[in-house]
Amino acid sequence: MRAEIELTGTYQHTSAELAFGARIAWRNSARCIGRLYWQSLRVRDLRAVHRAADVADQCVEHLRLATNGGRIRPTITVFAPDAPGRPGPRIWNEQLIRYAGHRVDGGVLGDPRYAAFTDAVRTLGWTPPAEPGAFDVLPLVVSTPDDPAHLRTLPADAVLEVPLSHPDHPWFADLGLRWHAVPAISSMRLSIGGVDYPAAPFNGWYMGTEIGARNLADTDRYDMLPAVAAELGLDTTSTTSLWRDRALVELNVAVLHSFAKAGATISDHHTESERFLKHIAKEERAGRRCPADWSWIVPRSPAASPRSSTATTTPTTCARSSSPTRAARPPPSTAPHPSSPSAPLPAPDPLDPPEPHPNRQLTPGTTRRSRRREVHCGPKQDPATIPFP
């Protein structure tokens, strides 16, 4: 390896090392609650794919394979790494599937989070539907050193969408809501042993609250709580009526019910909290500490779900105190389950494609000589403690 670095400035992982590093990165991803099944991650080694059009085609194939007829399979597709003088491909989209935000009459039709990205892809040549809707799938944008911006429309057979209905309220279907079944993050950099893979789309499956309590409910996203509350006949004139809470529950019931009806994998936050505790227990039995960013791990209603006080913010640090767990709501996004949300993307410059966000990294650092591995995910920071109840 040292000779290879001396000669080329970098080195290549074997396929086995790549698969191991990707799985370990998921296992230690501090913001993900769904790590119990990290060993089941399917790793697609596509480092030989370089052309932007081919990268986009393989992203489409990733979605088909991950969808698996509704039985979502955790999958990561790893494209060429950055190398001295030759950067790897970039995927501009935050997730492979996202809905457009069309600017209309001073507002936004669709997802306001992606209004700027929608503007950008239109300047690159994307033509939205003749009659724009609230759930128009955005195209992929891939760039390489030889192709500054390649657009790829996602075919219908690669995007499984679930129309939302409610088991007790027939009117809910008339709201016209739906959501895609595969949350495939494409804005994270995978870094293994000092080798960076800037394009490595990765998916798990959704936790219901990611859709019902965030994407469809947040005021800067689809903001559906007022509409649901109105249909329920709730008093929205006072917060003490808890109308938002009651509407939120029904919205989440609809999401779980609809995914189950469609045969698409999803889980509720209570189940995932219990699974996370099992994951922590397994890690402790293996002699490892479990990193956890509790502002992401704790569900939207933390008092109703089990929590652990033994996970740590770094693989080597654990602290407890009488202070309450920080359970602030993360920035709005549909991070997959497992999730890794990110900040809204600015309108990209075709001549200056965006870098994968520096605060979103899956990083299994590998030292071959000692065979020691340390894994970090998320913002790089000094070891620190976080208070637990």
Residues with catalytic annotation?
Answer: 32, 35, 205, 210
Going by C-alpha positions, the residue among 275, 309, 270 that lies closest to residue 292 is 309
Structure token digits, residue 170:
């027939």
338 CA to centre of own chain: 7
Q: From CA 355, how far away is CA 88, in angstroms rounded?
A: 11
Amino acid making up residue 296: W
Using CA atoms, how far apart are residues 322 and 376, in angstroms rounded to an integer? 27
Cβ within 8 Å of residue 352, ≥6 positions away? none
269 φ/ψ angles, rounded to the nearest 5 degrees: -70, -25
3-state secondary structure the chain: CHHHHHHHCCCCCCHHHHHHHHHHHHHCCCCCCCCCCHHHCEEEECCCCCCHHHHHHHHHHHHHHHHHHHCCCCEEEECCCCECCECCCEECCCECCCECEEEECCEEEECHHHHHHHHHHHHCCCCCCCCCCCCCECCEEEEECCEEEEEECCCHHHCCEEECCCCCCHHHHHHCCEEECCCEECCCEEEECCEEECCCCEECCEEHHHHHHHHCCCCCCCCCHHHHHHHHCCCCCCHHHCHHHHHHHHHHHHHHHHHHHHCCCEECHHHHHHHHHHHHHHHHHCCCCCECCHHHHCCCCHHHCCCCCCCECECCECCCCCCCCCCCCCCCCCCCCCCCCCCCCCCCECCECCCCCCCCEEEEEEECCCCEEEEEECCCCCCCCCCCC
User: Which backbone phi and psi does 109 adopt, to 5 degrees?
Assistant: -100, 115
